[in-house]
Amino acid sequence: MAGETTPVPAADNRPAGAQAKAESRRAAPHTVPARDPHSLAESVRDAALAALLAGVLGFFFIGLRTDIAPGGLTITTRWTALVVAILVVFAGRLALNLFVFRTRRPVTGRLAAGAAAGAPQLATAAKWLMRGLFVFALVLPFFFITFVPGRDRQFIDLAILIMTYIMLGWGLNIVVGLAGLLDLGYVAFYAVGAYSFALLAQHFDLGFWMALPLAGVLAAMWGLILGFPVLRLRGDYLAIVTLAFGEIIRIVLLNWYQFTNGPDGISGIPKPTLFGLELKRGEGGFADVFGLAYDPIHRFIFLYYIIFVLALITNLVTIRLRKLPVGRAWEALREDEIACRSLGINTRNTKLTAFAIGAMFGGFAGSFFATRQGFISPESFTFLESAIILAIVVLGGLGSQIGVVIASVVMIGGIEMLRNIGFLSQVFGDGFDPVQYRMLIFGLAMVLIMVWRPRGLIATREPSVALKEKKKIGADLVAQGEGH
């Protein structure tokens, strides 16, 4: 796959024998005829190698399967599956070679050229897309009730889920996208928010709206507590320590049985009320007061608007903060920490505010999660959740607010849509359940999108400060997210 480069010989301090080896290598290029990498034969050869590799990798995993049987483990074989996998890899690699990698005019080249030419139009299109999305989000529950009355509850529930991830993504975007601090333990603040609300409701009988600000404050405090020790760390080290903190919080929640009820979790978390009105059936409920027929969908619509407003607040605060000194300090910190310090920016306070504000929004989202589910346990706050949120932020394009929305819709919505694809089970047989492939596809999408567009889907962003005229900054011009 990688082209062999001929090593340059001639060094006196090399061991004996190297000279002869180098001589033979020097002679080699003249004897081997140059191969044209664009030829069909080369494409097929390369695809065959990929298929061989797939066979080697899949042999013990697709071809064989170990199962627990009475009297020990047994091994079953699935050679057809292995052969199918090899053929799929061969065909896929061949198609990629013929159309993208090993052709003089790759298909993607034309796409890229078109995108570059249409960049200004793209910017206006993005602006209109943003407005369109906003209007759609505003009327979304009624849209689903009108157009898909049979499955409206399911779709609104999915919208709530996506909106939660958008909010989490926007919250994490402050830490990762703006301040450039790679946080792999963001789920800890989500957990703190959820548990704060659950415990406050359990012990002090507080409602959702009372507990929400408290949960935000508590999460922000934890943001400070966990942010303080890692001020000196940067890049990958910061990532791994925040991951460790996230895991520590989860393990403590799991084992501190007297306080958190351990793995059993906390149930019976109160539902939010609308100015004191409960969304319940019968006397004094929301439907009764407004003279409507009771419908459980009301509660879903209400929850949707709560998370919608919370997410909007997150977005507005972020946009405003970017224009304030602290927001500019964040972005300066992301680009170059040393330059920042030499210009007199207090990096400690700047980092801590980023951690605290990001954590606060995570705490809000956590409270909402608790009230929506009515039940929480440490199971919901694993590292995978952090990875998903980070993936949304990075794949959307660091620092891009609309990118987070697109990435959430694609990654969360797209994956959930898998459940509804009926024809797959006709193709693969009845036992085929697309849902179990969810995370596999998620991981693959993470790798592929990153390889395809390392800067994320939306790679340009509006400069927060402009001299005379606003220019678009290509993300490749700045050292994004390096934290120094």
| 208-267 binders of another protein (CB under 8 A) | 229-230, 232-233, 235-237, 239-241, 243-245, 247-248, 251-252, 254-255
Site for another protein in 73-112 (CB under 8 A): 73-75
Looking up tokens 């059936």, which residue turns up? 281
Site for another protein in 109-128 (CB under 8 A): none
CB nearer to another protein: pick between 35 and 65: 65
428 near 204, Cβ under 8 Å?
A: no
What gap in Å lies between CA 91 and CA 85, rounded to an integer? 10
Least Cβ distance, residue 136 to another protein (angstroms)? 29
What gap in Å lies between CA 193 and CA 220, rounded to an integer? 9
What are the CA-CA distances from residue 100 to residues 1, 105, 172, 452 (Å)? 15, 8, 35, 12
Neighbouring C-alpha atoms within 13 Å toward the C-beta of 417: 9
Least Cβ distance, residue 48 to another protein (angstroms)? 16
CB nearer to another protein: pick between 125 and 240: 240
Site for another protein in 455-474 (CB under 8 A): 455
Binder to another protein among 86, 446, 457, 459 (CB under 8 A)? 446
The C-alpha angle 248, 254, 256, rounded to 5 degrees, equals 95
Report the Cα–Cα distance between both ends of the chain, in Å, rounded: 35
CB nearer to another protein: pick between 182 and 269: 182
Rg over alpha carbons for the chain, rounded to the nearest Å, is 27
Least Cβ distance, residue 149 to another protein (angstroms)? 35
Burial bucket for residue 235 (CB in 10 Å: 0-12, 13-18, 19+): middle
CB nearer to another protein: pick between 237 and 259: 237
Least Cβ distance, residue 450 to another protein (angstroms)? 5
Report which residue type is found at 440.
Answer: L
Q: Which two tokens stand for residue 86?
A: 């090899």
Task: Give DSSP secondary structure letters for 290-310.
Answer: TTPPP-THHHHHHHHHHHHHH
Least Cβ distance, residue 469 to another protein (angstroms)? 27
What gap in Å lies between CA 203 and CA 199, rounded to an integer? 6
Least Cβ distance, residue 350 to another protein (angstroms)? 19
Q: Which two tokens stand for residue 297?
A: 């969908």
The C-alpha angle 29, 34, 40, rounded to 5 degrees, equals 150
Least Cβ distance, residue 91 to another protein (angstroms)? 17
CB nearer to another protein: pick between 40 and 479: 479
What gap in Å lies between CA 480 and CA 179, rounded to an integer? 10
408 binds another protein (CB under 8 A): no
Residue among 389, 385, 421, 408 nearest 457 (CA): 408
CB nearer to another protein: pick between 64 and 410: 64
CB nearer to another protein: pick between 215 and 449: 449
133 binds another protein (CB under 8 A): no
Least Cβ distance, residue 462 to another protein (angstroms)? 20
387 binds another protein (CB under 8 A): yes
Site for another protein in 34-53 (CB under 8 A): 53
Q: Is the dihedral of CA 345, 362, 160, 367 positive or negative?
A: negative
Q: Which two tokens stand for residue 119?
A: 């960049």
Binder to another protein among 4, 12, 205, 283 (CB under 8 A)? 4
Least Cβ distance, residue 342 to another protein (angstroms)? 9
Q: Which two tokens stand for residue 460?
A: 């340009």
57 binds another protein (CB under 8 A): yes
Site for another protein in 301-360 (CB under 8 A): 338
CB nearer to another protein: pick between 159 and 449: 449
Least Cβ distance, residue 336 to another protein (angstroms)? 9
Residue among 181, 176, 173, 192 nearest 231 (CA): 181
32 binds another protein (CB under 8 A): no
- Total interface residues for another protein by CB under 8 A: 71
Stretch that binds another protein, among 140-148, 206-214, 265-273, 442-450 (CB under 8 A): 442-450
What gap in Å lies between CA 243 and CA 238, rounded to an integer? 8
Least Cβ distance, residue 247 to another protein (angstroms)? 6
